[in-house]
Amino acid sequence: MKENNRKIRIAVFVSGGGTNLGALIKAQQEGLLCDGEIVLVISSKADAYALTRSKDAGIESAVVEKKVLGSQERFESEIIRLLEEKQIDLIVLAGFMSILSENFTSRYPERIINVHPSLIPSFCGKGYYGLRVHEAALEYGVKVTGATVHFVNEIPDGGRIIMQKAVYIQDGDTPEVLQRRVMEEAEWIILPQAVQQVCSQLASDTIKK
């Protein structure tokens, strides 16, 4: 960052409905997210409802589709171009369903945050996303699940944990019911809190420099 008095500039990556993006926008509007500002939303799908959320909030958005660009390298190069153009300080993955390579993640050490719908290290890593996470939790018979916000590195769900919140499994839960409750009781709460925490630390580090 070139200035000490500006907010941390955030890009949110999305692929679907954007409920976690909605939680971040709400936190920003209510002043919970006060050391950062969402200035860009990047979607890997042109029909993602998250783009409507972004538009309604007056946040600039862009669509970057791997199938259109034809390769992982061109996909990531276009994302990097957008990030540099907007002077992004922090990336938040909020339901982003595209894999990012080690070449990409290594460019932004501890500058990429992800929210995962389980208590890492349970039900995480390759293949664990969406409903599959909640199906696995119910199949295993655990009594407590939850959500984790962590930094992203080259290992799927392997970066340093920032924040976790537990959610109790109830009798009769289906994967869909559990998914919704984990979002409402954990993801939508700790993701904005964690983003604010990281933004506050980044802002503090910048001032010290």
The residues that are catalytic are 116
Beta-bridge partners for 146: 166
The tokens describing 55, both together, are 């538009």
Question: Which token pair is 124?
Answer: 């995480």
| Half-sphere exposure at residue 66, Cβ-oriented, CA atoms within 13 angstroms | 12
CA distances from 192 to 24, 82, 111, 128, 146 (A): 5, 23, 15, 22, 16
Torsions phi, psi of 33, nearest 5?
-95, 90
